[in-house]
Amino acid sequence: MSKLRWVLPVVAACVPLSPLWAQDCSPREIGPDESKTASFAAGDCTLRGLIGGTRTEYAHPYNVTLPRDEILTADLKSAAADAYLYVYSLSGVRLTANDNVSAQSTDSRVTIALRQGTYVLIASTRGVTAGAYTLQTALGTLPPCPETEARLDAPMDGQLTRDSCRYMDVRAPSSDSSRAAPYRLTVPSPSVLTVKMSSKEFSPYLEILDSRFEYLSYADAEGDPEVELAISLEPGSYILLATTSETGPTGAYTLTAALAEPRSCGGRDIGLGETVEGRLAAGEDCRYLDLVWLSADTTPIDLYRVTISQRGVLSLSLSSTVFTPYLAVLDERGLELNSTIDDEEPGPTAQLATSLPPGVYHILVNTWDDAGAYKLMSNFSELRPCKIDDARPDEPMQGALMAQGCRILDLVAPSGDPAYAAGYRLPISDRRILTADQTSTQVDSALYLFGPNEMLLSFDDNGGGGKNSRVTTLLGPGTYRLAASSANGGTGSFTLSARLTEPPVCAIETIEPAATVSGQLASTDCRIRETVVGSTGGSYVRRYRVTLTQAGRLQLQVSSRTVATALVLTDAETKTVQIATTQLNGAARMEKRLEAGTYIVHVITMVSGQTGSFALQSTFEASQ
């Protein structure tokens, strides 16, 4: 069972994902209904150069752009080699692949439903072989797949036949030809949806999608005749997709759906230094999904309320002999501050230490597996003393991390980071570019930058080369804090240096709230770390100023036929409001309700240093 994390709304830096192929394997172009002939030869790019790994077969990437949502069929034929064909998203996600089209042929064929956008076909071979090949593409129309209105008052009987829609007709990208039936469901208020599907003729598979047909959750009967799925949903329109566990089977099925209010999850008080015993029980107890929207986690939980009167460290221990404990600390809004989500091997005891400012907090007691009795112990201690030195720009500063010394969680709150740290105060009077380096021959350097509100702005482990760290970012006026630490909790000496420089003058274009513009990211552009406070990315950036004269919902989309793009929306002071990274069809989208004011749209590539053309579209709908 995987937990859905509640993350504090801290957008410290844009950290783009890297695509799988290297920049020196430039893609060729092929149309969606076109044939190209070429040859594999010594010196060509290899699969290892494109997608990593160890395979050394020659590989040719082709960009293909679909003008609308369609089914793409691609054939790779060769008399000289055992053809192998791959389909990737522009951002480097593998979507499908094929080696042999049949037992009698070593040619390759893929058929996949794709959304409008740009994708990458990789023509390659099984075994390092040179020779000629032909790559042929063809588009097919997605057949209509009518939706049935889901009923909540009675079971819904259905039939999957050879003439039914396929899974790939509803969900893209997909090459799954399993038969499927979509049902549309309207959720009027925050609710928990429970769906059951049963069949005597096949093993059922259920999916829940949002109104844009984006995946939310699934349940697989895995050979059994019945499956059940529960998920917490916000008000809106959703799709229930009834299909089969395996491709091929068809037959009759019964579907039932019910909406219920989330169960009450009241909290009991627990004192500092107190030990309580409790029991998690399935049934009517509060569940994880009753607290977290879009969660399908039905494990039971207990909530405890604790009051912190002074800044300090709350230490918790949750133990059980019958289940594997999961433990979290939440603020009054239910946002997770610290948890044991990252425990690599959860055991019979879960432990947390979290520094907290004064306030009321909640302790979440949960399980990774079974339910039963548990013991929860709380303790509270003062922060360890931390000497905060003034950072001296352009002057190396010597420091040391010491056992039982100051930790990150002693420097800032809330924090659950126990790594030893040395703190430095850095006042900034005007907008400046900070370049901070932590070097050491004794520790694996890890450098943190915290904002005036103690929120993490930037972090770097090995960006300074080897085991050294470097943070480079734009900062506005205020007092910041640098924390020199180690990536593995080690101790030893280090050198910290900080340099402040004036930010470059970066071009910005004014656009209307509803506009369509084309642009080009070039090596002469500024980088995102020079234009957005707290960003450390090295991607080139184009900026657009948009002014809203009244509150409303702003929608943005950027797409490119050559590079994976991303969007960063900031306020007029270039503090991040929202980030959107590229989707599988090569476009990045965001939608945000904003108050009247001026905002900056930043278009960047997902990989530092890449360049390419793009199209940006914005729409705006005013609201009260």
Q: Residue 5: pLDDT above 50?
A: no
Candidates 190, 199, 182, 186; CA nearest to 152 is 186
Q: What is the mean pLDDT of the chain?
A: 92
Look at residue 19 in the predicted model and tell me its pLDDT. 44
Q: Cα–Cα distance between 112 and 599 in angstroms, integer?
A: 39
Residue 167's H or E segment, with its range, is helix 167-170
pLDDT digit string (tens) for 288-331?
999 988 999 999 999 999 999 999 999 999 999 999 999 999 99
Question: What is the mean predicted confidence (pLDDT) over 41-54?
Answer: 89
Q: Which domains does the chain have, with CATH numbers?
A: 28-140 (2.60.120.380), 148-260 (2.60.120.380), 271-286+301-381 (2.60.120.380), 388-501 (2.60.120.380), 509-622 (2.60.120.380)
Look at residue 463 in the predicted model and tell me its pLDDT. 86
**Which residues touch 243 (CB under 8 Å, ≥6 apart)?**
160, 167, 178, 179, 180, 181, 204, 205, 206, 207
Q: Residue 231: pLDDT above 80?
A: yes
Task: Give the single-character DSSP code of 53.
Answer: S
State the CB neighbour count (10 A cutoff) for residue 82. Answer: 17
Backbone angle region of 404, left / alpha / beta, with phi > 0 → left and psi within -120 to 50 → alpha? left
Burial 602-615 (b: 16+ CB within 10 A, else e): bbbbbbbebbbebb
pLDDT category, 17, cuts 50, 70, 90?
Answer: very low
Q: pTM of the full predicted structure?
A: 0.84
Look at residue 489 in the predicted model and tell me its pLDDT. 85
Question: What is the mean predicted confidence (pLDDT) over 187-200?
Answer: 97
Q: Residue 184: pLDDT above 60?
A: yes
pLDDT digit string (tens) for 262-296?
998 888 999 999 999 999 998 878 999 999 889 99
pLDDT digit string (tens) for 111-169?
999 999 999 999 999 999 999 999 999 999 999 999 999 999 899 999 999 999 999 99
Q: What is the 3-state secondary structure (H, E, C) of 336-383?
A: EEEECCCCCCCCCEEEEEEEECCEEEEEEEEECCCCEEEEEEEEEECC
pLDDT category, 24, cuts 50, 70, 90?
Answer: low
Angle, vertex CA 209, rays to CA 208 and CA 212, nearest 5 = 170
Residue 534 phi, psi dihedral angles, 5° rounding: 90, -10
Q: Residue 21: pLDDT above 60?
A: no
Burial class for 125, CB neighbours closer than 10 Å (0-12, 13-18, 19+): buried
Look at residue 10 in the predicted model and tell me its pLDDT. 28
